[in-house]
């Protein structure tokens, strides 16, 4: 009976679904329009390769007319079928360009997955941090309410005690304002996560002790080649080089190979069968300017590649400095020490209620503790934000468990 009642009571409550930031990011990837868009782009690129492999359509020509010869008249009909045949190497260059475009689309898809993964994981961390700060401010508000009640309980307040009461009331108003901002932000972040994942009442589970010492900067520098920006520009440079090969084939003649049938309806009826070979000789347009344009594109892509590499290195230096700074802050203000800080504050609160310290000293202690808590959580966010920037540069997902 007790077990039945327990099941009945627990089934009547709805529990929030708990996910880690990495799990939330994975759920968002399945629904992200950005990923779906680039996924379709890879299908388009694959179809372009198949299209490039196809031969041009044959040319069918039908001619009919009247033939007059030596006083005789009769009908005449010509049927010709010509098949354009690409110059050897031209079709290969076109197919190679299509393959490079597919590789570029795959890099775009990879980058879109990284963007969704990192942005949603960081959004989840921010939601978890704001949720913790809301709890912290609720506790501050409750403490102030108790102290305010205590100050109001004094029958005859001296001028100093009136000032102390005013200080507490001002602090309560400040906490109320902070609470409003935090709760508004929490609702906004929660709505964003709901849209991204499709899950109502989602709870983020974060291991606050997972901060690890960052690897050496050279490690990230050695992984830059795996970043989507460098990979994409490398493929764009290869595509530009291949476009030069395509342009060179404009100087090659176009070839048409075909067969012809001719029938002359005079006495006697004449039938003619023959093969034909047509060559379009490039005399006026030999693709000279197209080759020059293609070579200029190669130089431009090479310069762009150098620029992207330089920007990536600059971003790496800045992000690594931010990561090192944030890691140092997490060592000074670890979230794991917040319970100890809270215990110390409760001692200060008890001392105040016993009249051992005044309101100003108590509020100063409260402000310092509040700032320490804020710094602990802000440093946590800054650490993973900088780590995210470094992982994006090196093409890695952001694992937050």
Residue 156 main-chain phi, psi, to 5 deg = -125, 100
Distance CA 336, CA 341 (A): 10
Pair type for strands 72-85 and 59-69? antiparallel
pLDDT surpasses 70 at 5: no
DSSP 272: E
Residue 209 main-chain phi, psi, to 5 deg = -100, 10
26-83 pLDDT tens trace: 999 989 999 999 999 999 999 999 988 888 889 999 998 888 777 778 888 999 999 9
Instruction: Please give the model's pTM, rounded to 2 decimal places.
Output: 0.81
Mean pLDDT calculated for residue range 178-188: 92
Q: Where are the beta strands (DSSP E) in 266-354?
A: 270-280
Q: pLDDT band for position 211 (50/70/90)?
A: confident
What ranges do the domains of the chain cover? 2-394
303-332 pLDDT tens trace: 999 999 999 999 999 999 999 999 999 888
Dihedral sign of CA atoms 99, 103, 105, 106 in order: positive
Nearest CA to 21 out of 152, 160, 193 is that of 193
Q: What is the pLDDT of residue 15?
A: 54
Domain 2-394: state its class: mainly alpha
90-137 pLDDT tens trace: 888 889 999 999 999 999 999 999 999 999 999 999 999 999 999 888
pLDDT surpasses 60 at 2: no
Quote the tokens at residue 160: 């100093």
- Determine the angle formed by the axes of helices 228-248 and 90-152, rounding to 10 degrees: 160
């Amino acid at each position: 009976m007790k077990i039945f009642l327990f099941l009945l009571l627990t089934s009547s409550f709805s529990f929030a679904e708990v996910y880690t930031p990495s799990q939330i990011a994975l759920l968002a990837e399945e629904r992200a329009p950005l990923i779906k868009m680039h996924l379709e782009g890879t299908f388009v690129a694959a179809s372009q390769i198949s299209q490039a492999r196809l031969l041009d359509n044959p040319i069918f020509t039908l001619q009919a007319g009247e033939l007059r010869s030596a006083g005789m008249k009769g009908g005449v009909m010509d049927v010709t079928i010509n098949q354009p045949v690409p110059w050897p190497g031209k079709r290969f260059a076109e197919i190679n360009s299509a393959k490079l475009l597919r590789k570029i689309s795959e890099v775009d898809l990879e980058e879109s997955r990284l963007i969704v993964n990192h942005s949603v994981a960081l959004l989840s961390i921010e939601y978890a941090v704001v949720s913790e700060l809301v709890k912290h401010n609720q506790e501050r508000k409750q403490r102030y309410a108790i102290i305010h009640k205590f100050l109001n309980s004094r029958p005859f307040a001296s001028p100093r005690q009136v000032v102390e009461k005013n200080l507490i009331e001002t602090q309560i108003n400040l906490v109320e304002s902070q609470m409003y901002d935090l709760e508004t932000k929490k609702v906004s972040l929660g709505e964003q996560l709901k849209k991204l994942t499709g899950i109502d009442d989602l709870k983020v589970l974060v291991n606050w002790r997972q901060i690890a010492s960052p690897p050496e900067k050279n490690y990230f520098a050695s992984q830059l080649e795996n970043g989507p920006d460098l990979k994409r520009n490398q493929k764009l440079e290869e595509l530009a080089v291949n476009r030069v090969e395509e342009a060179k084939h404009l100087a090659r003649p176009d070839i048409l190979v075909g067969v012809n049938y001719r029938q002359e309806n005079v006495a006697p009826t004449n039938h003619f069968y023959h093969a034909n070979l047509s060559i379009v000789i490039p005399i006026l347009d030999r693709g000279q300017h197209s080759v020059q344009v293609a070579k200029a594109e190669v130089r431009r892509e090479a310069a762009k590649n150098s620029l992207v590499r330089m920007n990536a290195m600059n971003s790496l230096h800045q992000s690594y400095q931010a990561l090192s700074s944030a890691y140092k802050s997490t060592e000074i203000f670890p979230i794991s020490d917040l319970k100890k800080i809270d215990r110390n504050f409760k001692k200060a609160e008890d001392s105040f209620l016993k009249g051992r310290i005044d309101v100003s000293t108590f509020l100063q202690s409260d402000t310092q503790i509040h700032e320490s808590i804020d710094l602990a959580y802000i440093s946590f966010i800054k650490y993973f934000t900088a780590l995210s920037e470094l992982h994006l540069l090196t093409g890695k997902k952001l694992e937050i468990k």
